[in-house]
Chains A and B, each alone.
Chain A
Amino acid sequence: MSVPLLSVNNLTMRFGGLTAVDSVSFDVHRDHITAVIGPNGAGKTTAFNCITGFYKPTDGQIVLTHADDSVFKLEEMEDFRISQTAKVARTFQNIRLFGGMTVLENLMIAQHNRLMRASLYTLAGIFNTPSYQRAQKIAKEKAEFWMDRVGITDRADDPAAALPYGAQRKLEIARAMCTDPVLLCLDEPAAGLNPRESEELNTLLRSIRDTNKVGILLIEHDMSVVMEISDHIIVLDYGRKISDGTATEVRNDPAVIKAYLGVVED
């Protein structure tokens, strides 16, 4: 197999005396949906925050390789650069939208860096030059494309905070996709969704993987989502990786069964 999209090596994160993530290693492949699962407090979100730069890991390497072989050492990069140059997008466990701004505005902000360049860092924008107008139009079209794709076009001009919960989750994914990522990190995307919405999410994620060629890394509690769409599952418990493989492999791994035993999963 080719070089993995993301390669996490001995990732360790300590908060004071607490080791939340303890030398975890795994790979994420370009054409895969990779899921990180584990009981509460297993260190999933912490690992996620290290990958997306919101925490600086205590130890370990996180290497991202683009299709053109350019390599990014994420553990050394500032959070916003990880999205800007390494092209890793993320969503949040408790949705973080710009609530007072409309759906369309949310999607335009995701294209900030491109639009800033097009507006010559505001100089050309002030005078509304034709090249800026073109860039603005293209950005709007991209926003419309993703609104269509996740099915919230009719709410384009409503403030994000007014959207129902499921639509907010979709908007957050659309917003992340508007940054043109190579890796999309989703923190519990199915949390709070009803079964129909979960199903729609599965379809959306599959199509993002297949048509946009974006690698997906997700944390999820909803096993129906995880088992159905994941090509590759990593199981964490108490900050350590206890299993790694396909859905079937993981399901039959005694270590996983032990970790989940007594934990009622639904």
Chain B
Amino acid sequence: MHYFLQQLINGITLGSIYGLIAIGYTMVYGIIGMINFAHGDVFMVGSFVSLITIIIFGITGTSNVFLGIGVLVLVAAISMVIAGIYGWTIERLAYRPLRGSFRLAPLITAIGVSIFLQNFVQATQGARVKPLQAIISGGFTLLSSDDFVVRITYMQILIVVLTFLLMAGFTYLISKTSLGRAQRACEQDMKMAMLLGIDVNTTISTTFVIGAALAAVAGLMYLLYYGVIDFYIGFSAGIKAFTAAVLGGVGSLPGAMLGGLVIGLIEVFFAAYFSSEYKDVAAFSMLIVVLIFMPQGLLGRPEIEKV
């Protein structure tokens, strides 16, 4: 029971990270119907920017939670800005010229961008893993028995709380502001939106920037949670986050979050109770099972085939 509870906490933390990345997939897929394959790598870049910024601030291992949080918010902001620029540039250079072109073309460029980013970071930052000491240490002991202690660290609380704050903020943004309305209009019918005077290009760019910024936060959290990153983390995290987006129902922000949690929990529990070597197989199999039996996802709308 104690073991189970500990895994539950870990799963929710990991799931929050996946959920944040998934939002980027779900928004982009919703608005232009493409899988932004490079999104996982933007997450990776965000993670590296966070690493660099943290080293610049030179704060590790503090138990002063408020100082830690203060610095981390600053780090997050910087990573969000730089990742946002990455997201914007990728859309502008690799996707926008192909909008309305051959359907496979943007997916291929997305794969190209993904390969490029991975190897660019590998070439400039080196192939070795980058370790980082815990920034905020400490936590609460929830339960303890003779042989097992259930702990929730400050870090985990921070990750989950921050995720839900961001989630709430962006759900508000999408449902209540004019940017959100423009996005939904583009989702429905891009041509019509354009005719009604919506700046489609800006709307799409903004979507990419927001998605990239959230991925950067996820990258920071991943760095803090695992304490180690490399240039390749974007690939499998990307696929899992995409799985989360599909699981939750593509186009739905709460769905992406929910999907992220489910995938995080599956991964953690599978690793804890069965085999950590096959945990990716579990997550990917989940994707396949979901797509076959529930293609509209948990919170998505069912699709009626137009004949």
Contacts and interface: CB of A to CB of B under 8 A. Distances in A.
A92 B304 CA distance: 17
B182 to A, nearest CB: 28
A15 B307 contact: no
Contacts of A49: 307
Interface string B270-307: 00000000000000000000000000000000001101
A45 B307 CA distance: 9
Nearest to A90: B307
A26 interface: no
A54 interface: yes
B264 to A, nearest CB: 32
Contacts of A45: 307
Nearest to B305: A54
Contacts of B304: 15
7 contacts: A15-B304, A45-B307, A49-B307, A54-B305, A54-B307, A55-B307, A92-B307
Rank and list the top 3 A-B pairs by shortest CB-CB distance, nearest first: A54-B307, A49-B307, A15-B304
Nearest to A48: B307
A55 B306 CA distance: 10
B120 to A, nearest CB: 37
Interface of A: 15, 45, 49, 54-55, 92
A49 B304 CA distance: 12
Contact-residue size bin, chain B (C-beta under 8 Å from the other chain) = under 10
A49 B305 CA distance: 11
A7 B304 CA distance: 26
Contacts of A92: 307
Contacts of A55: 307
A226 B157 CA distance: 70
Interface in B201-215: none
Contacts of A15: 304
Contacts of B307: 45, 49, 54-55, 92
Contacts of B305: 54
Nearest to B307: A54
Nearest to B304: A15
A15 B306 CA distance: 13
A213 B299 CA distance: 50
A54 B305 CA distance: 9
B103 to A, nearest CB: 13
A218 to B, nearest CB: 16
A183 B305 CA distance: 24
B122 to A, nearest CB: 41
Nearest to B302: A16
Interface in B121-147: none
A43 to B, nearest CB: 14
A234 B191 CA distance: 38
B227 to A, nearest CB: 49
Interface in B42-73: none
A92 B307 CA distance: 8
A86 to B, nearest CB: 18
A55 B305 CA distance: 9
A96 to B, nearest CB: 9
A55 B304 CA distance: 9
A54 B306 CA distance: 9
Nearest to A45: B307
B304 to A, nearest CB: 7
Interface in B161-202: none
A252 B305 CA distance: 37
B102 to A, nearest CB: 12
A35 B125 CA distance: 71
A36 to B, nearest CB: 16
A216 to B, nearest CB: 19
Contacts of A54: 305, 307
A47 to B, nearest CB: 12
A106 to B, nearest CB: 18
A45 B306 CA distance: 11
Nearest to A92: B307
Nearest to A79: B307
Nearest to A46: B307
A49 B307 CA distance: 8
A229 B186 CA distance: 44
A206 B48 CA distance: 73
B290 to A, nearest CB: 22
B291 to A, nearest CB: 21
A54 B307 CA distance: 7
A76 B219 CA distance: 51
